[in-house]
Amino acid sequence: QDNRISIWSVGEFGNVGLNGEYQGEPQLLCDIRHNGDVMDMQFLDQERIVVASSTGTVTVFRYHQNNQTLSANQRWEEAHYHVGQSTSCGGAACTGVICSNPEIVTVGEDGRINHFRADQKDAIRTIDNADSSTLHAVTFLRTTEILTVNSIGQLKVWDLRQQRNEPSQIFSLTGDRVPLHCVDRHPNQQHIVATGGQDGMLSIWDIRQGTMPVSLLNAHEAEMWEVHFHPSNPDHLFTCSEDGALWHWDTSTDISEKPSFLHQGGRSTAYFSHNTINQSVVSAWLSNDPAKDRIEITNLIPNQTLSVNSLDILGPCLVYGTDAEAIYVNRQLFA
């Protein structure tokens, strides 16, 4: 009922014991009340955090390191809202937020897309009827383009420079209209995108071609809540689910062991395709045959039963939160 935004310190790397376990308790540095459920949040910079609320409000909180406090720095009240026949009839959940300082883009249950700038009170741009269904997540494709996923299995590309309120591209899962809950793009090869949704499948898309996923991979037994490429090592991907699992997908198999992969469309990031002018590396994720034995999959939480709702990764650190009302830090991803 009473939600809070909290800043924790999980200690320095020096405090790791002999068996690799982190020694000492995480410290709660500060917290602040938050109206509504926290649907999504992201750091804008070292001091500011953008938070999406189920009330439709988007708040920028500032973290003051000198006296360890949090304060509301800026707030866009009911940035997302349902419209009744005559008036606005209350907030609609803001389901996703993405930041690229100073730009902030939010999406919501009302099918709206808002483009804010951290230092400006009014929205730069609002696309009111961007979608007729709920938008579940958003990410930047490039500095002026965003990707959204919705509750009828569509992935859409929006160019923020265009004044028209239509997406520049629409991709969709065939047939079933399975809701998509999460999206992330490959950090180095921006045409490669991963999504996950209601049926637990992992979909890999190449937005340069076609309107359907390049590959569909059987993953979780329930909704997939989050998908993330490792920011500096994108052969590694992480997904978490309502089924209580957190999977680490590894496509970085050493090609010296498996020379048969050295062909066009093979699963090797070391193979250069000579038919492209800029010699771009063929990504392991775009293989025509994503056979299970070419992707190593590890469940990082073997005996969890409760939903894993969120995850993030940086370097060797993985952080995830579960329905057990606990936050876990794994410091040895590649140990």
Give the per-residue pLDDT at 14.
54
Residue from 222, 144, 162, 213 nearest 183 by CA:
213
Q: Please indicate, yes or no, whether residues 195 and 327 belong to a single structural domain of this protein.
A: yes
Q: Please indicate, yes or no, whether residues 163 and 191 belong to a single structural domain of this protein.
A: no
Q: Please indicate, yes or no, whether residues 34 and 101 belong to a single structural domain of this protein.
A: yes
- Whether 274 is in a domain gets the answer no
Q: What is the CATH number of the domain that holds 122?
A: 2.130.10.10
Give the per-residue pLDDT at 47.
96
Q: What pTM, to 2 d.p., does this model score?
A: 0.86
Q: Please calculate the CA angle 248-191-203 and round it to the nearest 5 degrees.
A: 45
Range of the domain at 288: 175-253+283-334
Which of these three, 123, 147, 172, is where a domain ends? 172
Can you name the residues that pair with 117 across neighbouring β-strands? 103
Q: Higher model confidence: residue 90 or residue 97?
A: 97
Q: Please indicate, yes or no, whether residues 161 and 35 belong to a single structural domain of this protein.
A: yes
pLDDT at 9 over 50: yes
Give the per-residue pLDDT at 21.
59
Q: Please indicate, yes or no, whether residues 31 and 71 belong to a single structural domain of this protein.
A: yes
Q: Is 61 helix (H, G, I), strand (E, B) or coil?
A: strand
- Whether 221 is in a domain gets the answer yes
Distance between CA 249 and CA 218 in Å, rounded? 12
Winning range, highest mean pLDDT, from 174-178, 242-246, 298-302: 242-246
CA dihedral 72, 76, 79, 83 (to 10 degrees): 110
Q: Higher model confidence: residue 280 or residue 14?
A: 14
- Whether 258 is in a domain gets the answer no
Reported as a single tens digit per residue, the pLDDT across 35-71 is: 999 999 999 999 999 999 999 999 999 999 999 999 9
Can you name the residues that pair with 75 across neighbouring β-strands? 59
Structural domain count, the chain: 2
Q: Please indicate, yes or no, whether residues 111 and 17 belong to a single structural domain of this protein.
A: yes
Q: Higher model confidence: residue 208 or residue 268?
A: 208
Winning range, highest mean pLDDT, from 214-218, 233-237, 280-284: 233-237
Q: Higher model confidence: residue 255 or residue 81?
A: 81
Q: Please indicate, yes or no, whether residues 13 and 157 belong to a single structural domain of this protein.
A: yes
Which of these three, 142, 172, 202, is where a domain ends? 172
Distances in Å between the Cα of 236 and the Cα atoms of 106, 186, 248, 250, 326 are 27, 10, 7, 5, 25
Distance between CA 333 and CA 154 in Å, rounded? 32
Query: Which residue type sits at 334?
Result: F
Residues 196 and 182 sit within 8 Å (Cβ to Cβ): yes
Total Cβ atoms within 10 A of residue 65: 11
Q: Higher model confidence: residue 1 or residue 92?
A: 92
- Whether 232 is in a domain gets the answer yes
Residue from 299, 297, 295 nearest 330 by CA:
299
Q: Please indicate, yes or no, whether residues 119 and 229 belong to a single structural domain of this protein.
A: no
The arithmetic mean of pLDDT across residues 261-277, rounded, is 31
Distance between CA 245 and CA 7 in Å, rounded? 25
Q: Is residue 22 very low, low, confident or very high in pLDDT (cuts 50, 70, 90)?
A: low
Q: Is residue 302 very low, low, confident or very high in pLDDT (cuts 50, 70, 90)?
A: confident
Q: Please indicate, yes or no, whether residues 119 and 27 belong to a single structural domain of this protein.
A: yes
Q: Please indicate, yes or no, whether residues 86 and 13 belong to a single structural domain of this protein.
A: yes
Residues 56 and 69 sit within 8 Å (Cβ to Cβ): no
144-148, 174-178, 277-281: lowest mean pLDDT where? 277-281
- Whether 273 is in a domain gets the answer no
Q: Please indicate, yes or no, whether residues 27 and 151 belong to a single structural domain of this protein.
A: yes
pLDDT at 30 over 90: yes
Question: Hunting for tokens 């308790």 — which residue is that?
Answer: 25
In the chain the first and final C-alpha atoms are separated, in Å, by 39
The arithmetic mean of pLDDT across residues 159-186, rounded, is 92
φ and ψ of 261, to 5 deg: -80, -5
Which of these three, 149, 172, 195, is where a domain ends? 172
Q: Higher model confidence: residue 257 or residue 105?
A: 105
Return the HEC string of 151-210: CCCEEEEEECCCCCCCCCEEEECCCCCCCEEEEEECCCCCCEEEEEECCCCEEEEECCCC
